[in-house]
Structure 1
Amino acid sequence: MIIMACKKEITAEAPTVDFTVRNMRSTIGDTLVFKLGDTCKFDVSGYADNITHYSGIVGNNYDNRNRTSALGKLILTFSTTMQFGTQANTFKVLAIKNLPSLDSATVVNANWTDITSRTTLATSATAVSTGNVDVTDLVSSADDVLYLAFKYSGVTGSTQRTWVISNYSLTNIGSDFNYVLSNLANDASYWTRYGNVWTPASARWTATSSALTIVGGAATAATNTSWIVTKPLYVGRITQDIPTATVKNLVSAAVTYYEYKYAAVGTYKSTFAYYSNTKDDTKAGSKNFYIKITQ
């Protein structure tokens, strides 16, 4: 006799949850109007295992919950100081997209774009900020990978310059996202350095969480060419939008109301997302409210 067992899938119960708004001041079509400072009060009926709220503010937009890539403006900024000597043209800011590798031969021989002229650089020990430098034109799409490099040159025969870079960042900025692709605090261990002078150690670029520094030598020091290159910068990278709040989860009791207060005037798409699930099945849905906050 052969006994065969069959597997029965466990079906999730369809959520019955619903939401209504009870305290809007007026309506314009399908838009609910509130005054700034009002608390939006939602009545919750029915049931779902899990309920989240997306308020529609930046970072909490339901429509962007699965968005992982978008190209806004690429804004580069940093500050510099320069000390000692009189040598000219000792510091360059370079950029390239889709560099095939970070070995020294590839880096040195690559077709870099010189963007030094876009920046405002120090002429003394007084720190000078570049301001916001738009480098979006250096890439073609959100799928590109950008590299930035700082190239130092010092020649023997006179005192060489010393440069310090601080407050460095590259940020992908859109109308509803602001993602830091690179900065000193996060990237101290990810810079790649090349140079022909390695003694003393200060004669090459050094990276910390607060500065990039290269110390020029005295007049008798060897001619020095030194590079420091960023990690690969995936220019379209952003953070997925997340819920503003968890209204209910599987282990919490059923809820009958929810409140939210908007901090600024504007029009928002407020979304409740809900689902019930088992190991075999999920049933989900969402409900939107268009909300206008006025003065």
Structure 2
Amino acid sequence: MINRYIMVTAIAFTFASCSKEIEVKSLNFDVTVSKTNGAVSNTYTTSDSLNFAFKGNPDVITFYSGEINRQYINKDRTVADGTPILQFTSLRATGTQANSLALMVSSDFKGIALKPGSTIRDTVTTNANIATAQWSDITSQAALSTGAATPSGEINLSSFANLGKPVYIAFKYVAAAGSVQNKWTITLLTLTNKLADESIYTIGNLGAPNTEIKNYGVITYSPGWWVSYDEVKNANKYPWVFTAGTSLVITGAATVGAATAPAEAWAIMGPINLKKVSPDVGVGLKSISAKFENYPYKYSSVTLSEPTFVASNNVVNSSATVVKPLSIKVTKP
């Protein structure tokens, strides 16, 4: 009986303890800044060594310096107006057929279709989507190979970014019957969004859809490439071959005798938001285990917005946060 009483009491105490939520610690936090020699100003230069002094002891402190790609005001930004630039290198080998490679862009392509309830591609529907989409031919903007590896130059896609919707970028291969058909190799492809502050974000490349793209420490993923052809237009079934991270290659008929039919094949990347950027991230200065009283810092570039510290105390169900912007700026000497 005594044992039963002890057990019931213990259980009751446990439930009572669990019913109490852990309260987050109150948060008092402030920051001041000066040169390491103690001089205080509203304007500093990149030649100054600064010291940020803290009052309070929060669990976590994160620092947004206000420099390019380190701005608190951009911590949730995922799109920004810039200049989207496509670049690649092409190599044409075998054959001399003219106009066998076209660079295309579409904003209404319905995408690669999958069979219902599966991850298997529906080739018929995909080819129908390609055929019905409106494709803009921008081949004239690129320098293409006539026999040696040739950089395309910068291809400005701003007119498509201004449409306000994602686009698809494609290489269309066409070959005529009756003569040796060209082989094309595409390498070193990048698609970037360059902002007015000179920051450059990679938003596309020759990576597979699960390939990481890292911009200023933030990871996103390549949109990937898909290849397709319609056997009605490509009876000899010459495909684009995509090697993730390396190249796109298509080889048509290598001899006149093999060139018994025309060929058409597509390699498509997308969908892509041409205004895509990565959010700015701060630098973690302090974890819960350490007391942190000051942070020395020397700017390597000017500030574009206010330096900001974010302090927080955190428990399982709640948190307390204080955001401390500093009304200073850092300029060149």
TM (normalized to structure 2)? 0.76
Name 1:62's counterpart in structure 2. Answer: 72
Unaligned runs of 5+ in 1: none
Aligned to 1:154: 175
Q: Does 1:33 align with 2:39?
A: no
Please list the CA deviations of residues 271-290 of structure 1 after superposition, one character each: whole Å capped at 9, or x if unmatched.
11111233343221122222
The answer on whether the counterparts of 2:65 and 2:303 sit within 8 Å (CA) in structure 1 is: no
Q: For the structure 1 residues 37 and 154, does the alpha-carbon distance in structure 2 shift closer, same or farther, using more than 3 Å as the test?
A: same
**Matches for 1:193-204 after TM superposition, within 5 Å:** 193-196=228-231, 197=234, 203-204=238-239
Of 57, 78, 83, which aligns to 1:47? Answer: 57
Shift of 1:77: 0.8
Q: 271, 275, 279: which one pairs with 1:232? A: 271
Shift of 1:183: 0.5
Q: How many Å separate the matches in 2 of 1:141 and 1:58?
A: 27
Matched-pair identity in %: 29
Alignment match, 1:127: 149
CA distance in 1, matches of 2:54, 2:191: 43
Q: What is the distance in 1 between the residues matched to 2:332 and 2:161? A: 40
CA distance in 1, matches of 2:167, 2:251: 27
Query: Residue deviations 1:105-148, cap 9 Å, x none?
Result: 11023211111111111111x11111111112124455x11101
Instruction: Say if 2:186 is the partner of 1:165.
Output: yes
Q: Deviations over 1:6-58 (max 9, x none)?
A: 9555442332121111317663xxx3313x34321111122212111111122
Residue identity opposite 1:159 in structure 2:
V
CA distance in 1, matches of 2:291, 2:70: 23
What residue is the counterpart of 1:182 in the other structure?
204
The offset of 1:199, in angstroms, is 5.2
* CA distance, structure 1, for counterparts of residue 235 and residue 291 of structure 2: 66
Give the deviation of 1:101 after TM superposition: 3.0
**Is the contact between residue 40 and residue 259 of structure 1 (CA under 8 Å) also seen in structure 2?**
yes
Equivalent in the alignment of 2:133: 110
Alignment partner, residue 28 of structure 2: 16
Tell me the amino acid that sits aligned with residue 155 of structure 1. A
**Deviation by residue 1:65-120 (Cα, 9 ceiling, x = unmatched):** 12223342211111111123232111111100142232111102321111111111
Contact 2:64 2:71 in 1 (8 A): yes
Letter in 2 for 1:105: A
How many residue pairs match? The answer is: 283
Partner residue, 1:211:
247
Normalised by the length of structure 1, the TM-score is 0.85
Contact 2:97/2:182, CA 8 A, preserved across alignment: yes
- Structure 2: tracts of 5 or more residues without a match: 1-11, 113-125, 212-223
Which structure's residues are more often strand, by fraction?
1
Contact kept? 1:266, 1:294, Cα under 8 Å: no
Which residue of the partner structure matches residue 301 of structure 2?
A: 264
Change (3 A) 1:257 1:74: same
**Whole-Å separation in 2 of the counterparts to 1:267 and 1:22:** 19
Taking a change above 3 Å as real, the CA distance of residues 32 and 60 of structure 1, as seen in their structure-2 partners, is same
